[in-house]
Amino acid sequence: MRVLLVFAHPRRQSFTGQLADAFCDGLRVAGHSVEFADLYLEGFDPILDADQFGLETAMDPTAPRPADVLAEQARLERAEGLVFIYPFWWSDAPALLKGWFDRVWSYGYAYAYEADLSRSTRLKVRKALALCPAGHTDEKLDALGLREAHHRVMVEDRLLGVGIPDARLELLGGLSGNPSDLRQHLLHRARALGEGF
């Protein structure tokens, strides 16, 4: 399977980066190929400006999109699987990744309104995963309802909601204080998730 991995962390050499490396190792062991998109390193512009907002609200899927958006969509065209790896900050993805969705999930590419079902979308990805480390423990994530809330936003709306038939969230809690034993456990888990993707 051809997998696009979208990485959103300001430091490539972070624990989130180590999770991405472990996941990629697992993908390769399983015989998958991976294209690694580092949004911070590449300088992706997350701002939906007035011009692109106008394109979205015009609901014209044939209108030209900005070159950087077309480049991201070209990556998606090459992919059968899609993986997002990012830290869970303030109960969501980093702003850069939210901006990626704002701009790349454009009208007619990733979605169309129900009143306009004659216009088909072009997103072809069949399987997706969001893998995110979090500082809160798993128990606190569940007690505060944060795991369920992020599942609704990231999986149900951003992934399943645009027609990806198989999508899931792996929210890895308990990383405050950098517990080394948990870090090793989660690195093994990330590798296993890659092998099983």
38 to each of 54, 60, 84, how far by Cα in Å?
28, 29, 10
Helices (H) and strands (E) counted in the chain, each on its own, are: 8, 5
- Residue 19 phi, psi (nearest 5): -60, -40
pLDDT of residue 131: 98
pLDDT at 116: 58
Q: pLDDT averaged over the chain?
A: 94
Residue-wise pLDDT tens digits, 34-81:
999 999 999 999 999 999 999 999 988 888 999 999 999 999 999 999
Percent of the chain topping pLDDT 70: 96
Q: Which fold has domain 2-195?
A: Rossmann fold (3.40.50)
pTM to 2 decimal places = 0.95
Pairing of strands 127-133, 166-172: parallel
